[in-house]
C-alpha cells in the first residue's frame, strides 16, 4: 500500500476548503471565507496541504511581511542590530491542520515548509526573523519546541531568528 501523495501549494480557487475543520472556528472560517481574498489583495500568501485527486485542503498556513519594534526584541539581539525603530520579519499569520490529521506530524510539516519559504523570501526581501502569534498554550508549546522565543512585551508573540532558520535549511552553494 502506497501513501497518498500530498503537496503544499499556493491556495487556488480549485482547492476544496468546504470540509476543513481544525477545531478553531476562527481558523476554519478564515480559510473558507477570507483566505482567497487576502491572497488576491496581496495582504497574505496562503499555502495549503492537499492530497489529490480531490484537492481537499488538509492544512494551511499564511505568510506575510511584518515588522517588529526593536524594543520588543531581547536586548542581547537588539544590541547587534541597527537602531531602526522597526525591523522586517516574516509573519506566519495562521497555521492549522484538519482534525483528521492532527497528531500525525502535519503541523511540523507545514511549519517547516513555512520556514523554508520564509528563508527563501528573506534572500530577496530582508527579514531578520519569522514571527508567530500563538493563540493558546498548546500553540505556544508547539512553537517553542522549535526554539521560537517570546518577544519582550508580547509573550504570546514568538520569533525565530533567520540565522536559526538558516541552520535548519543550510544552503548548498556548491563552492
- In this predicted structure, the answer to whether residue 173 has a pLDDT above a threshold of 70 is no
Which pLDDT score, from 0 to 100, does residue 172 have? 65
- HSE, side-chain direction, 13 A CA sphere, residue 28: 10
- Which of 30, 60, 84, 143 is labelled catalytic? 143
Tell me: the pLDDT tens digits for 127-141? 999 999 999 999 999
3-state secondary structure of 49: strand
Residue 143 is a catalytic residue:
yes
Tell me: the pLDDT tens digits for 107-133? 999 999 999 999 999 999 999 999 999
* Dist CA 58 CA 31 (whole Å): 11
Going from the N-terminus, what domains does the chain have, and what CATH number goes with each? 7-168 (3.40.630.30)
Tell me: the pLDDT tens digits for 40-82? 999 999 999 998 777 899 999 999 999 999 988 888 888 888 8
Which pLDDT score, from 0 to 100, does residue 121 have? 95
pTM of the model: 0.91
Amino acid at each position: 500500500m502506497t501513501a497518498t501523495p500530498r503537496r503544499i501549494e499556493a491556495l487556488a480557487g480549485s482547492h476544496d476548503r468546504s470540509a476543513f475543520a481544525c477545531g478553531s472556528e476562527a481558523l476554519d472560517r478564515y480559510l473558507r471565507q477570507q483566505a482567497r481574498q487576502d491572497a488576491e489583495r496581496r495582504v497574505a500568501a496562503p499555502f495549503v496541504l492537499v492530497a489529490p485527486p480531490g484537492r481537499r485542503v488538509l492544512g494551511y498556513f499564511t505568510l506575510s511581511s511584518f515588522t517588529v519594534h526593536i524594543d520588543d526584541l531581547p536586548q542581547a539581539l537588539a544590541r547587534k542590530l541597527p537602531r531602526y525603530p522597526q525591523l522586517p520579519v516574516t509573519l506566519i499569520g495562521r497555521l492549522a491542520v484538519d482534525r483528521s490529521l492532527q497528531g500525525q506530524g502535519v503541523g511540523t510539516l507545514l511549519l517547516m515548509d513555512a520556514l523554508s519559504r520564509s528563508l527563501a523570501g528573506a534572500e530577496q526581501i530582508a527579514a531578520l526573523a519569522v514571527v508567530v502569534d500563538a493563540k493558546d498554550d498548546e500553540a505556544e508549546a508547539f512553537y517553542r519546541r522549535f526554539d521560537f522565543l517570546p518577544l519582550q512585551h508580547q509573550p504570546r508573540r514568538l520569533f525565530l531568528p533567520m540565522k536559526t532558520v538558516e541552520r535548519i535549511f543550510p544552503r548548498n552553494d556548491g563552492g
